[in-house]
Amino acid sequence: MIIYFTGTGNSLAIAQQIAQATNDRIMPLTEAVRKDFTGEKRIGLIYPSYDFNAPPAVRNLVPRLKINPQAYVFIIIPCGAQAGNSIWTIRRLLRNKGIEVAYSHKIRVPDNSAIVFGRNPNDQIWKFSRFANRLQTIINDIIAGKHGHHFAGWSLISWIMGTDRMQEWMLRTFRPSVNENKCIACGICSRVCPMRNITVDEKAAVGPHCTACLACLHACPQQAIEVGAKSTVKTHQYRHPGIKIKDLTLR
């Protein structure tokens, strides 16, 4: 079983590619916490790196997973550049449950948070071809049941970024809001939110459980979801080219 957490489809696309090669099933993390995987011999966790750490939702939900301590567990991190402590943190949380992660790696993908800084994530599409060989290596390693950790070491800057105070500040900084003058209440933002954190009545509204994945911002056809009251540029909205909106709503 391969369990993923995704905002704009990068983790889902990688989960699909690995699952196709390993003949595994895939499932979103928000659904997986309600299942029992103690009968599975191989468990994969695929999730992005946010602010040098695993997303808050991943840190909260992974400890609730029911996994066989004897299973071959691997972690793959899709990230714009640095994985930070995103692997180390989840390894520690699983170890607290008596579960050891056998293998971990990262692979670079377009950074969907780039839009917040005025950059275009679509300019980073080149990463898919540049790191295709690494993904194939990862797949081969998983099939062979190899052990080893890559980019999984603890770092001080990542620890600082992962403190409660910094995480609260980053969540406030990257928390999307709805520009009511642009919102047409189409409901797409609500359907793609992995946390089911957006309600839509006359207008959309972001709830208190945001994990700053920016799925809503990138999916909104009216560019009505913004960060820091900064206008969202349509050409800078990103979704993995192999993933459709409907793929992100199957939860």
Neighbours of 112 (CB within 10 A): 27
Report the run of H or E that residue 26 belongs to, with start and end: strand 26-28
CA distances from 188 to 5, 86, 138 (A): 18, 29, 33
Evaluate if residue 13 carries a pLDDT over 60: yes
Q: How confident is the model at residue 162, as a pLDDT?
A: 67
Cα–Cα distance between 127 and 131 in angstroms, integer? 6
Evaluate if residue 235 carries a pLDDT over 90: yes
Evaluate if residue 26 carries a pLDDT over 60: yes
Q: Are 235 and 120 in contact (CB under 8 A)?
A: yes
Task: State the greatest distance between any 2 C-alpha atoms of the chain, in Å, as a whole number.
Answer: 54
Q: How confident is the model at residue 250, as a pLDDT?
A: 59
Q: What is the SS3 assignment for 35-72?
A: CEECCCCEEEEECCCECCECCHHHHHHHHHCEECCCCE
User: In which residue are the tokens 């011999």 written?
Assistant: 41
Q: How confident is the model at residue 22, as a pLDDT?
A: 97
CA distances from 207 to 84, 105, 175, 199 (A): 28, 33, 10, 7
pLDDT in tens, 34-65: 999 999 999 999 999 988 889 989 999 999 99
pLDDT in tens, 152-208: 777 777 777 767 777 777 777 778 999 999 999 999 999 999 999 999 998 999 998
